[in-house]
Amino acid sequence: MTVTANPPVRPRHGRPWTMVERNLMIYRHTWPVILAEIFEPLLYLLAFGLGIGALVGHVPGLRGDVPYPEFVAPALLATAAMNGAMNETTFNLYAKLTTDRTYESILTTPMSVRSVALGEVSWALLRGTLVSTAFLAVVSAFGLVHTPAALLVVPSALLIGFTFASTGLLVVTFLRSWQDFQLIQLVMLPMFLFATTFFPLNVYPRPIQVFIEALPLYHGIELTRAAFLGTTSAHLAVAVAYLALLGTAALTWAVHRLERTLRD
Amino acid sequence: MTAGPVPILAEGLTKTYGGFTAVDGIDLEVRRGEAFGVLGANGAGKSSTMRMIACVSPVTAGSLRILGRDSATDGAAIRARLGVVPQDDTIDGELTVRENLLIYGRYFGLSWKVLRERSARLLEFARLEDKAGDAVGTLSGGMRRRLTIARALINEPEIVLLDEPTTGLDPQARHLLWERLHRLKQDGVTLLLTTHYMDEAEQLCDRLVVMDAGRIVASGTPAELIARHTSREVLELKFAADERQVMIDKCRGLAERMEELPYRLLLYTDDGEETLAAVNARGVRPRTALIRRSTLEDVFLTLTGRSLVD
Ligand SMILES: Nc1ncnc2c1ncn2[C@@H]1O[C@H](COP(=O)(O)OP(=O)(O)O)[C@@H](O)[C@H]1O
Ligand SMILES: [Mg+2]
């Protein structure tokens, strides 16, 4: 061991990417869990798309009539992107913040709280891209994809992932105990059920429509559905802006709050 | 080697949590290449001090310069040149032993190539070569501590901060750790360590400060502290429980200073033999009597009126 005062290798400052490397290192041992994440939306597609699809047939109003499985598939993908990202930055992150205290040692290095936060969000995005790409591949193998525009669901899922990973990061800074995860479920489940995942917006009375239009998942589904079906509308710009803004605001606030708790 | 900025220079360093003052305006100067100790009982403010110096916890008041840089503005640049061994092991439980070293080095922006070579060397240094591929959950306490120290060396730091490096370890594991720390010192690394073990401070530290309730109550080399704050020798007496109080009362006035501990009576004196003779002359019959040289433990007792490890 020689430890010199002039290290031959000049250390550079820690960057967000190293958090992704850490997660990849762990996933080398535990990669099958990602299969479960791809499997879940497929299961919903099978149960609802085929099951309910057999009853309702087509959903009127969008680009002519859309077969029900093609109506739910992009929504399930948006939901999977949301859940994957949220799980990563709420459930997994809460464990790292409390029981594992993972960040304590990381923050003794040149890594900043911001780098750690950006890194964890990036990792959630990487995972989300993997899941949404795999999902897209499977549904196109089932013959549900009819337009090359469907490839745009991947960047759409990425944006949804960003919004919800950042929101999750903010939410996790407010959690007091594991019990609080039930409160998250209390918000997430209704959002999943009502944000036009299974029914188009026009089945609801107007006051409820307004409420649904405020949900971030609604905008996410609008994006993936438009890409999947190859439709466009002016609303897509609103959806992109809404998701990007919400994600950026949440991330900024989350970093600020984490800074206070992790550097006490 | 004395060139270059002072490794650690703190003036009026203060840390408060809410309204509570954990570190109360301390001054510290740690010189290049020395092993500097912070000695204190639980709650004295040692960890709070170490965390500020490690630039992981912001300074409430006072100035703190590390390697010539201001901790408030240059935290990341300072941390790049420090090795930190926190009080509680914070090894990454989801990774193997070697992966812990590799990824920690990545946080410093080191290349994989450099890290492969360094991690092999550090595994050897920590005597963990056989455990390289194991989950960290299978390590013993001593092994975890050595891994934490190895990890702290991955960036070849100029200063290593060790917060109670051997607390909770068995004697054999402690000796192995001390030997490794001696090697680091020989290599020219500046060491700052906290401890509540006297023998550890005497073994490892060139200079030290004694902390109590957030303040520094004494500082110097171990020999200076002993010379300044306590007598040359100590007569330790133990009594049967039923006659303890009577015997203690009889001993009063026989030594410069007397300290009553739960199981022992300490008489501070410059000549232990003479005092023992005087004790016997008063008809005091201790169960055991021991004459020894004063240690840092006695310095601590004298300064704070409490023993270090309760
Ligand atoms: N994060 C914290 N928040 C509030 N109080 C703290 C915190 N950390 C330490 N303290 C308090 O500060 C005092 C000094 O603690 P510490 O620096 O850990 O001492 P030591 O390491 O010498 O045992 C203790 O009374 C402790 O309870
Ligand atoms: Mg402590």
DSSP B212: E
Decide if A14 is inside a domain.
no
Comparing CB atoms, the residue among B1, B95, B121 nearest residue A1 is: B121
Q: Does B178 touch chain A (CB under 8 A)?
A: no
Residue B193 has what pLDDT?
96
Q: Which of A9, A10, A106, A264 to mutate to test the interface with B (most CBs of B within 10 A)?
A: A9
pLDDT band at B213 (very low <50, low <70, confident <90, very high): very high
Decide if A19 is inside a domain.
no
Q: Does B90 touch chain A (CB under 8 A)?
A: yes
Rounded to an integer, what distance in angstroms lies between the CA atom of residue B193 and that of residue B185?
12
Instruction: Scan for tokens 């070697």, then name that residue.
Output: B98
Interface of B with A in 42-71 (CB under 8 A): 54, 56-58
Q: How far is B66 from chain A (nearest CA, A)?
A: 14
Comparing CB atoms, the residue among A100, A105, A112 nearest residue B76 is: A112
User: Would you say residue B108 has pLDDT above 90?
Assistant: yes
Phi, psi of A161 (to 5 degrees): -60, -45
User: Which residue of chain A is at minimal alpha-carbon distance from B95?
Assistant: A26
Helix (H, G, I), strand (E, B) or coil at B242: helix
Q: How far is B196 from chain A (nearest CA, A)?
A: 23
B40 lines ligand 1 (CB under 6 A): yes
Read off the amino acid at residue B292: R
Decide if A23 is inside a domain.
no
Decide if A3 is inside a domain.
no
Q: Which of A13, A108, A123 to mutate to test the interface with B (most CBs of B within 10 A)?
A: A108
- Interval A39-94: pLDDT, tens: 888 888 888 888 888 888 888 766 568 888 899 999 999 999 999 999 889 998 99
User: Would you say residue B122 has pLDDT above 70?
Assistant: yes
pLDDT tens digits in sequence order for chain A, 264 residues long: 444 444 444 445 568 999 999 999 998 888 888 888 888 888 888 888 888 888 888 887 665 688 888 999 999 999 999 999 998 899 989 999 998 889 999 999 999 999 999 999 999 999 888 888 999 999 999 889 999 999 999 999 999 999 999 999 999 999 999 999 999 999 999 999 999 999 899 889 999 999 999 999 999 999 999 999 999 888 899 999 999 999 999 999 999 999 999 988
B214 lines ligand 1 (CB under 6 A): no
Q: What percent of chain B has pLDDT over 70?
A: 98
Decide if A209 is inside a domain.
yes
Q: Which of A154, A125, A1, A136 is nearest to A70 (CA)?
A: A136
Q: Residue B73 burial by CB count (10 A; 0-12/13-18/19+): exposed, middle or buried? A: exposed
> In this complex, do B107 and A111 lie within 8 Å of one another by their Cβ atoms?
yes
Q: Which residues of B touch A21 (CB under 8 A)?
A: 103, 106
Tell me the pairing of strands B233-238 and B288-293: antiparallel
Q: Does B92 touch chain A (CB under 8 A)?
A: yes
Decide if A252 is inside a domain.
yes
Residue A3 has what pLDDT?
44
pLDDT band at B266 (very low <50, low <70, confident <90, very high): very high
Decide if A1 is inside a domain.
no
Full residue range of the structural domain in which residue A168 is found: 33-263
ipTM for the predicted complex comes to: 0.85
B44 lines ligand 1 (CB under 6 A): yes
Q: Residue A259 burial by CB count (10 A; 0-12/13-18/19+): exposed, middle or buried? A: middle
User: Would you say residue B310 has pLDDT above 60?
Assistant: no
| Residue nearest atom 25 in ligand 1 by C-alpha distance | B43
- Interval B74-102: pLDDT, tens: 999 999 999 999 998 889 999 999 999 99
- Interval B149-178: pLDDT, tens: 999 999 999 999 999 998 888 888 889 889
pLDDT band at B308 (very low <50, low <70, confident <90, very high): low
B100-120 in b/e form (b: 16+ CB < 10 A) is: bbbbbbbbbbbeeebbeebbe
Decide if A61 is inside a domain.
yes
Residue B217 has what pLDDT?
93
Sign of the torsion angle spanned by Cα atoms B66, B72, B77, B82 = positive
CA-B15 nearest atom, ligand 1: 12
B19 Cα to the center of ligand 2, angstroms: 19
Q: What is the crossing angle of helices B112-125 and B141-152, to 10°?
A: 140
User: What stretches of chain B show up as alpha helix (H) in DSSP?
Assistant: 46-53, 75-79, 97-107, 112-125, 141-152, 171-186, 198-204, 222-229, 244-251, 272-281, 296-304
Instruction: Scan for tokens 């649904």, then name that residue.
Output: A212
Q: How many domains does chain A have?
A: 1
Q: How far is A96 from chain B (nearest CA, A)?
A: 10
Comparing CB atoms, the residue among B95, B104, B153 nearest residue A109 is: B104
Instruction: Scan for tokens 């905008």, then name that residue.
Output: A219
Residue A191 has what pLDDT?
93
Chain centroid to CA A44: 17
